[in-house]
Each structure stands twice: as structure tokens, then as C-alpha cells.
Structure 1
Amino acid sequence: MVEGDNYPPPPVQYYLSQLLNVLKLSLIVLIVASQNPFEWINKATPSAYSWALENKVYACLMIFFLSNAIEGQLISTGAFEITFNDVPVWSKLESGRIPAPQEMFQIIENNMRLNQ
């Protein structure tokens, strides 16, 4: 049986990605609702935010895709771990590379022989 799972990112990166997600959604809601939070605090509206209010669709799409790319980088670990009968047999985090298919099949075959 083959099971896939996500290797957990470091907690700081995970929480940063969650914070970015909340900020992204809040900013999109503000833009769609034509709200200007800078007026609430009596500050001058930055030209980028004024542009976003004038070009809602483009600005929201840009915010969505750019922040998703950043979130993905924050939670990406690059892990590729193989366990056989709950015994780790390969770790990209330790070796720094992904095994070649033939190498992977040989590792699994050797472990199957040892477990018989």
C-alpha cells in the first residue's frame, strides 16, 4: 500500500502562511467592498491602493495569485520520505536527493526480502 502525506513545515513558517492568508482575504474583501482603511486612520491613501480600488478584478486576482505563491513557498518543505512497514527507508531531507526509480525499487525489494 502506498500512502501520500504532507511533511509538516516548521511552525513559524506555517503560522506566517496562515497570517498571510488572513491578510490576503481581508484585503480582497476591502477592495471588493470599496473600503479604504487609510481613511479610517486619517492617513493618505497610497497610490497602489487607489489603483487597486479602480481596478478591482485585476488587483484581486494579482493579490490572490501572488500571495498564494508566497504561501506555497512558506509551507513547502521539499520532503520526499519513504517508509516500508513503518521503517524509514529513504529521506530526501537527509540525502538531499530523490532516488532513481530503479534505486527505489531495489530498496523496496531488499526490505521485502528482509521482512519475509
Structure 2
Amino acid sequence: MRNFQGLQVEGVVDSPSPMNAAIARMATILQMTCIALIVFGDKFCAALNRPTPLWYHDIQRSKMMYLGIVWLVGNFFVAQLTTTGAFEVAMGDELLWSKKDTGQLPESIDYLISQVSTRLYQ
């Protein structure tokens, strides 16, 4: 591996689109609401002077299973919305590699090193 003295390497997080970020926030709120209802649903019904629905008793019998399902499915959904898959290598203003454009990672780190070397030693 070569050492390029004086070369500044900077990592930047590529944010999801504003729409995906908003949907992810709403999904997280829905997930936490479902968890609260699974855990405290009977108390909510009592506070509202409503009878506890019959289906809620089924949920209470398998509370841990439903909590796990809500947690896993919610986190999977939010992760899919917020993952951009971005991997880009740029030198100055010149883009050397973009996973967004090509749809894949470079096959070898040697390719990227050769691209950087070529531009450094021109």
C-alpha cells in the first residue's frame, strides 16, 4: 500500500432525501406508538373509560413476540429508507469513482490507488 504524504482524506455522510427522512421519522413515531400500545394498551383504554378490545388480549398473551416484530420490522423499514449506498472517491473537484453512478463498488482498491497516483504525479 502506498503512502501519499500530504493527501487529506475526508469522509462525509450522504444524507437521505428529505422525503425519505420525513417518512423514516414518521415510521419511528409509529413504531414507538405501537410499542407503547402493546405495553400500556390496557391502561390507555382504562384512562379513556373504554373496554379493552378482544384482539388486545391476544397481543398480551404473546407480548414479547409482538414487541419483537414491531421492533425488527420498524428498524428494517427505517434502515431501508435512510440508507443511500453512497460511496464516492473524489480528488479535488474531480470525481474518480461513484457507486451511485455505476451501481457497484470498485473491484479492487488498486484501481483507486492507480487513479489517485496518476493525478498526484501528473
Normalising by structure 2, what TM-score?
0.73
1:17 aligns with 2:24: yes
The structural deviation recorded for 1:66 is 1.0
Query: How far has the Cα of 1:36 moved from its partner?
Result: 7.6
Specify every segment of 5 or more residues in structure 1 that has no aligned partner in the other structure, as ranges.
none
Give the corresponding residue for 1:107: 115
2-structure distance, mates of 1:37, 1:91 = 50
- Give the Cα separation in 2 of the matches to 1:94 and 1:82: 12
Q: How many residue pairs align between the two structures?
A: 112
2:87 equivalent to 1:96: no
Structure 2 distance, partners of 1:4, 1:90, is: 14
Question: How far off its partner does 1:111 sit?
Answer: 2.5
RMSD across aligned positions (CA): 2.7
* TM-score normalised by L of structure 1: 0.76
What's the CA shift for 1:22?
0.7
Q: 1:81 aligns with which of 88, 95, 103?
A: 88
Task: Indicate the SS of the match to 2:22.
Answer: helix
Residue 111 and residue 53 in structure 1: after superposition, are their counterparts in 2 closer, same or farther (change >3 A)? Answer: farther
How far off its partner does 1:38 sit? 8.0
Structure 1 position 85, deviation (Å): 3.8
CA distance in 2, matches of 1:5, 1:50: 48
Q: Does residue 27 of the first structure (1) align with residue 39 of the second (2)?
A: no
For residues 18-46 of structure 1, the C-alpha deviation after alignment (integer angstroms, 9 at most, x for no partner) is 10001101110121113487896x7x948
How far, CA to CA, are the matches of 2:11 and 2:33 in structure 1? Answer: 32
| Structure 2 gaps, min length 5 | 1-7
Identity %: 23
* CA deviation after TM superposition for structure 1 residue 86, in Å: 5.3
Please state how far the C-alpha of 1:69 moved relative to its aligned partner.
Answer: 0.6
